[in-house]
A and B are shown apart, each in its own frame.
Chain A
Amino acid sequence: EAGVTQFPSHSVIEKGQTVTLRCDPISGHDNLYWYRRVMGKEIKFLLHFVKESKQDESGMPNNRFLAERTGGTYSTLKVQPAELEDSGVYFCASSLSLAKNIQYFGAGTRLSVL
């Protein structure tokens, strides 16, 4: 069984550019989460999808971040325009509904904004 996959593994962009991160959850997992760790900080929650609906987006830092999950399968996280403080590692996780909140994480996308 394939795990959570994230693409790209590393992205280097200049300030002001746009970047789109992709997450493919484990097949059949209705819950999809985005987290990030910025330099020297703790891993922080960004948002939670249940199928295609945003269940909780309380962690989204500002309106430069847009997450989508069309069709309830893969998800994208777009940062537009990127700022220096957006640099960090973005993790995606997925879980089954009614599955004891066991979240399976991808390896992350390392975003470097120069």
Chain B
Amino acid sequence: DAKTTQPPSMDCAEGRAANLPCNHSTISGNEYVYWYRQIHSQGPQYIIHGLKNNETNEMASLIITEDRKSSTLILPHATLRDTAVYYCIYTNFGNEKLTFGTGTRLTIIP
């Protein structure tokens, strides 16, 4: 199973940028980095994905290091609704299973 390493928990003040790190040192060349989050009592929600270039969408930005062994998810202006468990996952681009780790529990503080 593809394994990633994330801090178990983080706090961030409302309105500030939340930066969530992930280590994926065993990622192979054809595997993408995906970020999902799970808000309490809901199913996981896709946020963003990338291969080697930095990516941005309406939800977040993804910064992947040049050696691809780590990445950072950035929520530019965190709101209380961003409180959730964030999962960093890597897998092939094809339609394959997602391997969830323990994730990072992000708490946005008013």
A residues with a Cβ closer than 8 A to B are 4, 31, 33, 35, 42-45, 48, 50, 55-56, 59, 91, 93, 95, 97-108
Residues in B neighbouring A59, C-beta threshold 8 A: 97
Contacts of B42 in A (CB 8 A): 107-108
For A45, the closest partner residue in chain B by CB is B97
Residue ID in chain B nearest A58 by CB atoms: B97
Bound Cα distance A39, B45 (Å): 20
Supposing A100-B49, A101-B32 touch, asked if A31 and B95 sit within 8 A by C-beta, the answer is yes
Contact between A43 and B97, CB atoms less than 8 A apart: no
Query: Are B43 and A4 interface neighbours, CB within 8 A?
Result: yes
Docked Cα-Cα span, A42 to B32, in Å, equals: 21
**Contact indicator per residue, chain B 37-51, by CB within 8 Å of chain A (1) or not (0):** 010011111100100
Inter-chain contact A105/B97, CB cutoff 8 Å: no
Chain B 74-110: CB-based contact to A (< 8 A → 1; otherwise 0): 0000000000000000011111111111100000000
From B45, B93, B97, give the contact of A100 (CB < 8 A).
Answer: B93
**Candidates A45, A55, A100, A105; contact of B99 at CB < 8 Å:** A45
The residues of A that contact B95 with a CB separation of less than 8 Å are: 31, 48, 50, 55, 95, 97-99, 101
Whether B98 and A45, one on each chain, are in contact in the complex, defined by CB atoms closer than 8 angstroms, is: yes
Known pairs A43-B38, A91-B43, A108-B43 / 8 extra A-B pairs, C-beta < 8 Å: A35-B98, A43-B44, A45-B98, A45-B99, A59-B97, A93-B43, A103-B46, A106-B43
Query: Are the C-beta atoms of A91 and B98 separated by less than 8 Å?
Result: no
Task: Give the docked Cα–Cα distance between A93 and B94 (Å).
Answer: 15
Closest to A92 in B: B43
- Which residues of chain B in 1-59 are interfacial with respect to chain A, using CB atoms and an 8 Å cutoff? 32, 34, 38, 41-46, 49
Residue from B43, B91, B99, B100 with most neighbouring chain A CB atoms (10 Å): B43
